[in-house]
Amino acid sequence: MNKFRIGSMEDYEKAYKSSIDDPEGFWSAIAKNFLWDKEWDKVLEWDFDKFDVKWFKGGKLNITANCLDRNLKDRAEQIAIQWEPNDPVQVGRTLTYRQLFIEVCKFSNVLKSLGVTKGDRICIYMPMVPELAISLLACARIGAIHSVVFAGFSSNSLRDRINDSECSVLLTSDGSFRGDKKIDLKSIADEALEECPTIRNTVVFKRTGDHVTMQSGRDHWWHELMQAADSKCDYEIMDAEDMLFILYTSGSTGKPKGVVHTTGGYMVFSWYTFLNVFQYNEREMYWCTADIGWITGHSYIVYGPLLAGATTLMFEGVPTWPTPERFWQVVEKYKVNIFYTAPTAIRALEAYGVDHVKKYKMDSLRVLGTVGEPINKEAWDWYNVHVGKERCPIVDTWWQTETGGIMISPLAGITPLKPGYATLPLPGIRPVLVDNDGKLLEGNNVDGILCFDFPWPGILRTTFGDHERCRNTYFSTYKNLYFTGDGCKRDEDGFYRISGRVDDVINVSGHRLGTAEIENAINEHPMVVESAVVGYQHPIKGQGIYAYVICDSKHGNDESLISEIKAVVNRIIGPIAKPDIIQIVPGLPKTRSGKIMRRILRKIAGNETDNLGDTSTLLDPSIVETIKAGAINK
Ligand code: PRX
């Protein structure tokens, strides 16, 4: 067993203490576990005020040498990626470590043949097929920076992300399958590319086989380029602080930010957290149901598991198609040992009833995990009883795109569990709670805002092209602290429970969306004068989207206007941002200085209208009664 795998509560306490007493010694011992072309000169340099963090400065390496080349020695014939397609009738695919290595080398050469060099940005807009993972790794192998855009985003979202980081190549596919839907990815990409001047080439993977238009000179078929590609490709030697990838995520203001992760620290952190949280054992079948379009897929489908030499299962489909048994079929079919999913999926499946789960033999399961949003007690219990048969620890993992890896979570079977709690920080992680004024809340049994007062290797380094925005977003709210945006309780035992966002970010089915971003999309409808979006508690999605919209008086039929507004949001951002509820209102509750009082709108959306608090500072307090009277019941 790997000596860095924590084996007992006592071990955890020891590791935690040593990570606090000597963080540099702690992380450098872990980092030595990897292949480096040159060891670092300095383990850590940091300054939260300017926000400048460097881990393993001067170190030289390539992450794919650690994910692939290194694994050829002992596990070349072991399955690296087990792929399960959307439709259970189709056959899956397997790629051993050797096969994956060859595919990555070949595709690295394809990228090189298109003129891609170190530091270039490559946008990836692909379905959940093995070629998506191959794309990430091929970029990393030649030092190109990948920027994956979730394939459910619209052409506008894709265009904005490509332009923000000036990508030179787009990797996409003819289409994708998701449940009973077929999505025409290439047409969406074509629409985006009309306004993407930096894209010189695209590579199109054939998935659906549907006819697509290929622009001569720009668009190339994946399979054709691969046919001619050489299977030998030396890796590019990267600096530990060279960018590995950009991943866009929503915040409370403005457009999504390109969160930047670098090579050395991210590698060490994604591996260490994977190994310890899931207590991964050699040869286990590991399945994370996320999409690689999100950080969970980057860290815990691709990098973490491959660095650990695990078999990672990639699933193209959705939990409820063709039946709500799909997940459990897959668990049984591949004898999955570790299963990591989102609370929203658990709640959705719970709603279909337990008979669907009971049919399947799932005794291979050893560890269950959740991520992305708070898990309610009922869903936790259901997961524990019906999926885990009360013998699998559930790791409720709290983290963010910006943290690169899991920060607060039980270690499966090692540290205690408490339903609804992410429990304890991982070694090296130093959470602090502050009140609204930034005053440190010491001791236990306190409620506040979750921050961190010391860097960890997976922390973001910047937001692409705008360091000041990064500093402002994460390091200016409270001096010398990383601000997460989450509310949090530390209970009497010192366990952490995350309560949700304290800013204007909402979490819909585990997807992070900025309310301002949705409002901007709604406001694009020509009949919309102004809008305000808030989240409300939703039984399946965690949070639903409630939009209050002021319309032009000549807008005509309400119902058709509402569906048009939904269509606009769908077009501008994508289906995940479509409001669940739209209430047409004559005005919004604004203060005299013109600020919308969202607190009131949140309460109305949440049916908590008995105590709306002080409304006397509003410009027109009567508007509150009007909105209340027209509120839409859920
Ligand atoms: O609000 C927290 C919630 O998801 C946010 C981060 O979203 P994103 O960057 O998209 O990354 C999601 C996957 C890592 C956090 O600020 N969140 C994530 N995990 C949990 C959670 N809330 C409660 N419990 C969790 N386990």
Domains of the chain: 65-236 (3.40.50.12780), 505-630 (3.30.300.30)
Give the residue whose CA is nearest to atom 8 of ligand 1.
400
User: What's the rounded Cα separation, in Å, for the pair 203 and 25?
Assistant: 44
Question: What are the φ and ψ backbone dihedral angles of 236, each rounded to 5 degrees?
Answer: -80, 135
Instruction: Cis check for the bond before 322: say yes or no (omega within 30 of 0).
Output: yes
DSSP, residue by residue, 576-597: GG--SEEEE-S---BBTTS-B-
DSSP helix/strand/coil, 239: strand
User: What's the rounded Cα separation, in Å, for the pair 106 and 386?
Assistant: 44
pLDDT tens-place string over residues 190-249: 999 999 999 999 999 999 999 999 999 999 999 999 999 999 999 999 999 999 999 999
pLDDT of residue 469: 97
CB of 400 sitting under 6 A from ligand 1: yes
- Give the Cα-Cα-Cα angle 228, 110, 83 (nearest 5 degrees): 95
394 in Cβ contact with 417 (< 8 Å): yes
H or E element at residue 378 = helix 377-382
Ligand 1 centroid to 500 CA: how many Å? Answer: 8
Question: What are the φ and ψ backbone dihedral angles of 183, each rounded to 5 degrees?
Answer: -115, 135
What residue type is 364 in one-letter code?
Answer: S
**pTM exceeds 0.75:** yes
Give the residue whose CA is nearest to atom 4 of ligand 1.
372
CB of 470 sitting under 6 A from ligand 1: no
pLDDT tens-place string over residues 125-150: 999 999 999 999 999 999 999 999 99
187 burial level (CB within 10 Å; 0-12, 13-18, 19+): middle
Largest pairwise CA distance in the chain: 73
Q: Which atom of ligand 1 is nearest to the CA of 498?
A: 23
Ligand 1 centroid to 152 CA: how many Å? Answer: 19
Q: Which of 399, 418, 452, 504 to mutate to test the pocket of ligand 1 (most atoms within 8 A of CB)?
A: 399
Ligand 1 centroid to 454 CA: how many Å? Answer: 20
Ligand 1 centroid to 398 CA: how many Å? Answer: 6
Q: Which atom of ligand 1 is nearest to the CA of 294?
A: 10
177 burial level (CB within 10 Å; 0-12, 13-18, 19+): buried
Q: Which of 260, 373, 489, 504 to mutate to test the pocket of ligand 1 (most atoms within 8 A of CB)?
A: 373
CB of 485 sitting under 6 A from ligand 1: yes
pLDDT of residue 463: 98
Question: What are the φ and ψ backbone dihedral angles of 74, each rounded to 5 degrees?
Answer: -105, -20
CB of 286 sitting under 6 A from ligand 1: no
Q: Which atom of ligand 1 is nearest to the CA of 370?
A: 26
Q: Which of 150, 261, 377, 400 to mutate to test the pocket of ligand 1 (most atoms within 8 A of CB)?
A: 400
DSSP, residue by residue, 285-317: EEEE-S-TTSHHHIIIIIIHHHHTT-EEEEE-S
Ligand 1 centroid to 400 CA: how many Å? Answer: 5
pLDDT of residue 146: 98
For the chain, state the CA radius of gyration: 24
Pairing of strands 311-315, 367-371: unpaired
Give the residue whose CA is nearest to atom 13 of ligand 1.
372
pLDDT tens-place string over residues 459-497: 999 999 999 999 999 999 999 999 999 999 999 999 999
Residue ranges of the chain with per-residue pLDDT less than 70: 1
Give the residue whose CA is nearest to atom 18 of ligand 1.
372
Give the residue whose CA is nearest to atom 21 of ligand 1.
373
Ligand 1 centroid to 18 CA: how many Å? Answer: 27
CB of 241 sitting under 6 A from ligand 1: no
Q: Which atom of ligand 1 is nearest to the CA of 397?
A: 26
Joined together, the tokens standing for residue 488 give: 């949090």
CB of 299 sitting under 6 A from ligand 1: no
Ligand 1 centroid to 469 CA: how many Å? Answer: 21
Give the residue whose CA is nearest to atom 10 of ligand 1.
512
Ligand 1 centroid to 508 CA: how many Å? Answer: 11
3-class SS shares of the chain: helix, strand, coil, % to 5: 30, 25, 45
DSSP, residue by residue, 179-193: TTEEE-HHHHHHHHH
Establish how many alpha carbons lie within 13 A of residue 546's alpha carbon, considering only the half-sphere containing its beta carbon. 23
Ligand 1 centroid to 247 CA: how many Å? Answer: 15
Share of the chain above pLDDT 70, in %: 100
Ligand 1 centroid to 501 CA: how many Å? Answer: 9
pLDDT of residue 30: 98
Joined together, the tokens standing for residue 183 give: 């999505």
Give the residue whose CA is nearest to atom 26 of ligand 1.
398
Q: Which atom of ligand 1 is nearest to the CA of 500?
A: 1
CB of 295 sitting under 6 A from ligand 1: yes
Ligand 1 centroid to 507 CA: how many Å? Answer: 8
The beta-strand segments (E) located in 198-265 are 201-205, 219-221, 238-239, 243-249, 257-262
User: What's the rounded Cα separation, in Å, for the pair 248 and 246?
Assistant: 7
CB of 396 sitting under 6 A from ligand 1: yes
**Which residue do the tokens 């000597």 mark?**
22
User: What's the rounded Cα separation, in Å, for the pair 369 and 524?
Assistant: 39
pLDDT of residue 302: 99
CB of 82 sitting under 6 A from ligand 1: no
pLDDT of residue 617: 85
Q: Which atom of ligand 1 is nearest to the CA of 399?
A: 14
pLDDT of residue 103: 98
